[in-house]
Structure 1
Amino acid sequence: MTDDRPIKLCRWIRPLAAYVFACSAWMPLSSYAQDAPITARTSGQSDNLIKFHPGNTAAPGLSVEVMQAVQRIDPTLKFVGQEVLRPLRRVEAELVAGKLDVFFGLVRNPERAAKYLVLSPPLYRQFTQLAVRSEDPINIKTFDEIRQLGSAGIVGVPRGSAYVDHLNGLGGLTVDDGVASVSSTLQKLIAGRVRFVFYGGAVLRKYIQEDGLEGKVRLLPARFYSEDVCVMVSRAADPQLVLRIERALERLRASGELAAIQDKYEVRGFPINRN
């Protein structure tokens, strides 16, 4: 006769583990006092007003508000350095070197997953779009349509963006990443030096508003990709940092506070076209 006790044990251990994890999302703040304090070095990102908007006390940025919420949930966690705005390339280099411990808000892709620890749940989902000059009647829906334009279809992308290598890898596209900021790339569009600007639609929309470009620039309706924007931790950081941030993020998700922050910055999901 076989002993089926191990099988029966597994049947109730897994549900119990799931129950314990779910309950931890609602853990009272007093229970976090037992955790050892951690001070994590982080950074702001220059030229992304969705995530970091210095001087705007009402809407300081989605990444800033999530960090504040995580610190409120887990008072033994402290993030330092978010007021320092760095270009994206420098943020990534300092995460790899261990000079930064964590960053709130990088698009998840295979290259980054190999370099950093990618946390869940995501901060939000980003949808990419194309911006064109308002007087341009074109209505692009696929990259093939852009390829057919040849030299009349130059795509502007901010230097250092993950989209530069991605678009170059598609082949047949002329990509211009000569300037580092979204604002400067939009100015190249207005000046006629590029035909399109490719980036996250919410970020483009924000800069069109902030830079007073309504009437000069419009977003095409096609959504090309959806990508998770996540918290990423350096592989040289304290392993406990991953567990502590994920625990707080899960609590934010379960309570609905993360969704409320997403709504505030207009980054909730909507249908897209995949090309």
Structure 2
Amino acid sequence: MKHLTLIAMLLCVLQGPQASAEPYKVFTEEWAPYNYQENDQLTGMTTEIVQAIMALTYDDFEMVMVPSMRASHLLQSRPRSIMYSMFRTPAREPLYKWVGPIVEESIHAWQLANVPSVNTLEQLQAAERITTRHAGLMPDLLEAMGFDNLDRSATENLQLYRMLLIGRTPVIVGDTDAGVAYYSRQLNIAPGKLRRIPVELYRASLYIAFSRDCEDEVVAAWAQALAHLRDSGELARIQRRYELPAP
């Protein structure tokens, strides 16, 4: 009896970590049109891509939307955590395992199409006003580039477009082309009413980040699935659904 008890205890020790391992969970934040909620459903360009990846890998991981800071904290503290869409920066590089890029985008300034055109960086820097969000990557980046004409009064993305449409600002900066397409649909802005200023202010790639404890086999399977989506053309088909309509 004592011998059997020792065997049982040994089995519990050996199986304990596996039995109590956290299930994989996928986190994201509210960032239209890449990941956002609509009619209580998680959707968006990169959400569709992640769902397509899991369909190929036969994974059924729970997908959860949480506030931005919460998502980053979970990725660093919770075992077997995955997060999308994430900028892959030098500071973040050693912290996670990476799959991607899932999307490559650039950010431009925008103006109304029926006003004198702004076409160069110098003209942008000389503009009467450029309105951005009150905080975030772009206003900080523009300030670092020497822009001293920033209006950081917008508290949300939709406000940028409303201010531009009613003439409260001549230029706005804040979204990728896919973001402009999304907010144009939200506000029923007619195709061709907005003009993209041909100065690329920022280019970025979005990735899927895995906590360091995630099995290499899982990360490799997701990378292989993403490559298949790219090679088959499905990745481009998903992205096209979120593009700006033709002028």
The TM-score, its normalising length taken from structure 2, stands at: 0.71
Native 8 Å contact 1:102 1:231 kept in 2? no
Pick one of 103, 108, 112 that aligns with 2:83: 103
Shift of 1:118: 3.7
> Between Structure 1 and Structure 2, whose CA radius of gyration is higher?
2
Conserved 8 A contact 1:107-1:227: no
Partner of 2:171: 196
Aligned partner (choices 213, 236, 249) of residue 189 of structure 2 = 213
Query: Is residue 107–residue 201 contact of structure 2 (8 Å, CA) maintained in 1?
Result: yes
Q: Work out whether 1:124 is the aligned partner of 2:109.
A: no
Residue of structure 1 aligned with 2:207, choices 231, 236, 260 = 231
- TM-superposed CA distance for 1:183, in Å, is 0.8
Residues 219, 243 of structure 1: alpha-carbon distance in 2 compared, 3 angstrom cutoff? same
**C-alpha contact (below 8 Å) 1:118/1:230 kept by paired residues:** no
Amino acid at match of 1:129: H
Q: Which residue of 1 aligns with 2:27?
A: 42
Residue of structure 1 in register with 2:240 after alignment: 263
Measured after TM superposition, the shift of residue 69 of structure 1 is 0.9
TM-score, normalised by the number of residues in structure 1: 0.65
- How far off is 1:204 after superposition? 0.9
Corresponding residue of 1:155: 131
Structure 2 CA distance for partners of 1:124 and 1:97, relative to 1, 3 Å: same
Q: 5+ unaligned residues in a row in structure 1: which ranges?
A: 1-35, 268-275
The structure with the greater share of residues assigned to strand is: 2
Match of 2:6 in 1: none
Shift of 1:132: 1.9
Write the mapping of 1:1-275 to structure 2, written as runs, cut at 5 A: 39-46=24-31, 48-52=32-36, 54-55=38-39, 60-81=43-64, 84=65, 86=67, 88=68, 90-98=70-78, 101-113=81-93, 116-120=96-100, 122-135=101-114, 137-149=115-127, 152-157=128-133, 159-160=135-136, 162-198=137-173, 199-214=175-190, 218-225=194-201, 227-240=203-216, 241-266=218-243
SS in 1 for 2:190: coil
Paired with 1:190 and 1:110, the residues of 2 have a C-alpha distance of 38
Match of 2:17 in 1: none
CA–CA separation in structure 2 for the residues paired with 1:168 and 1:50: 26
Partner-residue secondary structure (3-state), 1:230 = strand
- How far 1:67 moved relative to its partner? 1.6
Name the Cα RMSD after superposition. 3.5
C-alpha change, 1:77 and 1:56, in structure 2 (3 Å) is closer
8 Å contact kept, 1:42–1:80: yes
Q: Cα offset for 1:211?
A: 1.0
Shift of 1:91: 3.9
- Do the aligned partners of 2:28 and 2:85 also contact (CA within 8 Å) in 1? no
Code of the residue aligned with 1:54 in structure 2: it is: E
Deviations 1:117-167 (A, max 9, x none): 4422x22221322222455x2322233212223xx122324633x323221
AA aligned to 2:108 is: Q
Structure 1 vs Structure 2: percent identity of aligned residues?
17
Number of aligned residue pairs: give it. 222
What per-residue deviation string (whole Å, max 9, x for no partner) do you get for residues 67-108 of structure 1?
211111111351421xx363x455445544558932322344
